[in-house]
Amino acid sequence: MYICLCKAVSDKAIKQSIADGACSMRDLKARLGVGSQCGKCVCQASAILHNELVKQPRDANNLAKPAA
Protein backbone atom coordinates (compact mmCIF):
# COMPACT_ATOMS: atom_id res chain seq x y z
CA MET A 1 0.00 0.00 0.00
CA TYR A 2 1.25 3.49 -0.78
CA ILE A 3 1.99 5.52 2.32
CA CYS A 4 3.44 8.61 0.62
CA LEU A 5 1.51 9.46 -2.53
CA CYS A 6 3.66 12.47 -3.36
CA LYS A 7 6.82 10.35 -3.65
CA ALA A 8 5.10 7.01 -4.45
CA VAL A 9 6.58 5.27 -1.39
CA SER A 10 4.98 2.05 -0.23
CA ASP A 11 4.90 0.49 3.21
CA LYS A 12 7.19 -2.25 1.88
CA ALA A 13 9.76 0.35 0.81
CA ILE A 14 9.63 1.96 4.25
CA LYS A 15 10.05 -1.42 5.98
CA GLN A 16 12.97 -2.29 3.70
CA SER A 17 14.65 1.03 4.43
CA ILE A 18 14.28 0.38 8.16
CA ALA A 19 15.73 -3.11 7.72
CA ASP A 20 18.64 -1.48 5.89
CA GLY A 21 19.37 0.80 8.84
CA ALA A 22 16.96 3.74 8.85
CA CYS A 23 16.04 4.45 12.46
CA SER A 24 14.32 7.85 12.36
CA MET A 25 11.94 9.91 10.27
CA ARG A 26 14.94 12.00 9.27
CA ASP A 27 16.53 8.85 7.81
CA LEU A 28 13.33 7.92 5.95
CA LYS A 29 13.03 11.44 4.56
CA ALA A 30 16.63 11.39 3.33
CA ARG A 31 16.41 7.90 1.84
CA LEU A 32 12.87 7.88 0.43
CA GLY A 33 11.56 11.44 0.53
CA VAL A 34 8.77 10.50 2.95
CA GLY A 35 7.18 13.59 4.47
CA SER A 36 9.04 16.05 2.26
CA GLN A 37 6.05 17.31 0.27
CA CYS A 38 2.57 17.68 1.77
CA GLY A 39 3.30 15.86 5.06
CA LYS A 40 0.09 13.81 5.17
CA CYS A 41 2.11 10.58 5.31
CA VAL A 42 4.23 11.45 8.34
CA CYS A 43 1.86 10.00 10.95
CA GLN A 44 1.49 6.67 9.16
CA ALA A 45 5.19 6.46 8.27
CA SER A 46 6.07 7.18 11.90
CA ALA A 47 3.78 4.38 13.05
CA ILE A 48 5.44 1.94 10.65
CA LEU A 49 8.87 3.10 11.82
CA HIS A 50 7.95 2.58 15.46
CA ASN A 51 6.40 -0.85 14.86
CA GLU A 52 9.38 -2.07 12.87
CA LEU A 53 11.93 -0.79 15.38
CA VAL A 54 10.07 -2.51 18.23
CA LYS A 55 10.30 -5.81 16.31
CA GLN A 56 14.08 -5.59 15.86
CA PRO A 57 16.21 -7.54 18.33
CA ARG A 58 18.37 -5.43 20.59
CA ASP A 59 22.04 -6.08 21.06
CA ALA A 60 22.79 -5.86 24.79
CA ASN A 61 26.37 -4.79 24.04
CA ASN A 62 25.20 -1.66 22.21
CA LEU A 63 22.76 -0.44 24.86
CA ALA A 64 23.81 2.55 26.92
CA LYS A 65 24.99 1.56 30.37
CA PRO A 66 23.77 3.54 33.37
CA ALA A 67 26.24 5.85 35.03
CA ALA A 68 27.89 4.32 38.10
For residue 7, is it within any domain? Answer: yes
Task: For residue 29, give its domain range.
Answer: 2-55
25 is a domain residue: yes
Count of the separate structural domains present in the chain:
1
Predicted model pTM: 0.81
**pLDDT in the model for residue 23:** 95
Tell me the pLDDT tens digit for each residue of 3-61.
Answer: 999 999 999 999 999 999 999 999 999 999 999 999 999 999 999 999 999 998 766 55
Q: Does residue 10 sit within a domain?
A: yes
CATH classification at residue 16 = 1.10.10.1100
- In sign, the C-alpha dihedral spanning 56, 53, 2, 35 is negative
CA-closest candidate to residue 5, choices 40, 31, 57: 40
